[in-house]
Structure 1
Amino acid sequence: MRKLSVRATVVWLGACTALFLLGGCATASESVPKASGASSEEVPTFTGPWAAEFAENYRQTDDETARTILAKESITDADYSEISDTFVACMAAKNFTVTIDDEYGAFTVTNSFDGEDPVLKAAYTACTSGFNAVSGLRAQMLRNPERLDENTIVAACLVKKGLVDPGYTAKDYARDLEDWSFPFGHDSMKAGECFSDPLELNNRAG
């Protein structure tokens, strides 16, 4: 049986730096597709470093489980487990078996291999709004809890790992990112580590 593995959420890291080694890129707006019944009314007041993202994700989903989680302005392991279970159950009701692959929003549809299947697409649209809203933001928060400047923290990591000169700055990184003119190879594992975990928090990634 073939399996369809899907990255349900795209963690937008400034300018798709997390996808550096994969050769792909997506826009921030792709992380939380707007649900048909989503509303901008009665959005809670958020105040933390990720306040804008909490508000936007709350607006973009009509999933009540996701909204309850987001309203707390925190996403615990239990919250992620709950929204994952809700997503899996929703897909099961539509005859698709889903397994959650990691803590960052990746999942596998075990009884499908055609991402263009209209039935799968319809199920995905109906079931992923809440899951995406929570898992995508959680992944970003695990990587950069205080929402520090992306260019600054990635540049500092590249310096620390010896991939660039000690004087390399956030401005240099932003310049190199524009046309992928980095002074190291695109397959550099150390660079990939800086893009995925610039603060070296490990983020419990296996």
Structure 2
Amino acid sequence: MPRKSHLRLVALFLAAVALSTAGCSSGDKGVQAVGPGPQNVDVPTFSGPWADYFRSAHSTAATDLQRTILSDGKITDQENQEVRNAFVSCMAAFDIDVELQDHDSFKSTTAAGMTDAKYDELSKDCRDRTSGQISGLYFQINRNPENRDEFAIMAECLSRKGLVERSYSAKDYAAAFEQQNFPFDVNDPRSRACSLDPLSREGAIP
């Protein structure tokens, strides 16, 4: 039977901005919720530059495995791969073949008769029940370990790569991002390189 292909490419910078601007109670910053977690589950005390994000992800985690992985305030390569593999298995149960890609992206194929709306529904459900917020957080931490200001590191990278003037600031980039009107070609490979690795960590990003 003919099959339909899907390609999900994560935009790391856009995801990072979503992380940095999503609000939590008590003024905390945090990742976007995927659904309510169980009642009366103690949230560990987290520390470090990503503590608020771990706290939010833990309090909204959908499974015990997600909470266990998040509980120590770090996500190992093995843990991330475990939940990503679980996502593949979940999708396979619906006759959706998934091929994992770099940077929390994946390719998938479905039966031709499956609608995009149904695919999106199944994909979201599988992600919520397997990787949840873990993979996105994992890649963001590897991309920006100290959780530096996203607009600042992007402006610095774009300047370093010659896409903007050296005087280009975080404020300039924030304004351009809000208006989605950039003084450079967003399809330039150097722009994508900044989105994926703004700190030029030379392959540190998985």
Common fold: TM-score over 0.5: yes
Tell me what 1:54 maps to. Answer: 54
Deviating more after overlay: 3-12 vs 151-160: 3-12
Give the SS at the match of 1:111. strand
Gaps of 5+ in 2: 24-30
Residue 111 of structure 1 pairs with residue 110 of structure 2 = yes
- How far apart, in 2, do the equivalents of 1:15 and 1:35 lie? 16
Tell me what 1:6 maps to. Answer: 8
Tell me what 1:20 maps to. Answer: none
How far did residue 109 of structure 1 move?
3.1
User: 8 Å contact 1:9–1:106 — kept in the other structure?
Assistant: no
Gaps of 5+ in 1: 17-26
- How far apart, in 2, do the equivalents of 1:45 and 1:152 lie? 28
2:116 partner amino acid: G
- How far apart, in 2, do the equivalents of 1:9 and 1:187 lie? 12
- How far apart, in 1, do the equivalents of 2:185 and 2:199 lie? 21
Where in structure 2 are the equivalents of 1:16-27 lying within 5 Å?
none
Give the SS at the match of 1:72. coil
Q: TM-score, normalised by structure 1?
A: 0.77
User: 8 Å contact 1:100–1:108 — kept in the other structure?
Assistant: yes
Where in structure 2 are the equivalents of 1:23-172 lying within 5 Å?
34-35=34-35, 37-39=37-39, 41-102=41-102, 104-112=103-111, 114-117=115-118, 120-129=119-128, 130-172=130-172
Give the SS at the match of 1:109. strand
How far did residue 106 of structure 1 move?
1.7
Q: Segments of 4+ in structure 1 off by > 6 A?
A: none
Deviating more after overlay: 68-77 vs 3-12: 3-12
Q: TM-score, normalised by structure 2?
A: 0.77
Greater relative contact order (Cα < 8 A, sep 6+)? 1
How far did residue 52 of structure 1 move?
0.9
1:182 partner amino acid: F
Give the SS at the match of 2:7. strand
Q: CA RMSD in A?
A: 3.0
User: 8 Å contact 1:12–1:28 — kept in the other structure?
Assistant: no
Counting aligned pairs with the same residue, the percent is 33
Q: How many residues align?
A: 192
How far did residue 88 of structure 1 move?
2.3
